[in-house]
Amino acid sequence: MSSVLVVDAANVVGARPDGWWKDRAGAARRLHEALLVADVEYDVVVLVLEGQAKSGARAGRDAHVRTVHAARDGDSTIVAEARAAAERGDRVAVVTADRALQANVAGVATVLSPSWLLDRL
């Protein structure tokens, strides 16, 4: 059994008022780069990008970080990723402060706050 951390990139980036809204792709790229060297106790980190942020990091695997480009909304992709990992028997956590998303992953994933992740970046 492995452990999977699914990251709501929009929510994590939005937790810091550092001007990310002026350069969503750049903010996504910086988050991706930080996750590559982050001190997290998960085997795989799934970074879910949506909208303009998708141009900040290519889809696919880069070391232990797998970037997924949401086809529609990020929340649906995050739920699908969390459920798929849980069905494989993985230990799953989702990083988000979005209450509706938290409710949608209840029962399949532990929910961690964006500040939890930002403290480790």
CATH number at residue 56: 3.40.50.1010
Tell me which residue range forms the domain holding 57.
3-118
Residue 16 predicted with pLDDT over 90: no
* Number of domains comprising the chain: 1
Considering only CA atoms, which of 61, 90, 66, 88 is closest in space to residue 77? 66
Query: What global pTM score does this model have?
Result: 0.96
pLDDT in tens, 73-110: 999 999 999 999 999 999 999 999 999 999 999 999 99
- Where helices occur in the chain by DSSP H, the ranges are 9-14, 24-37, 74-87, 99-105, 114-118
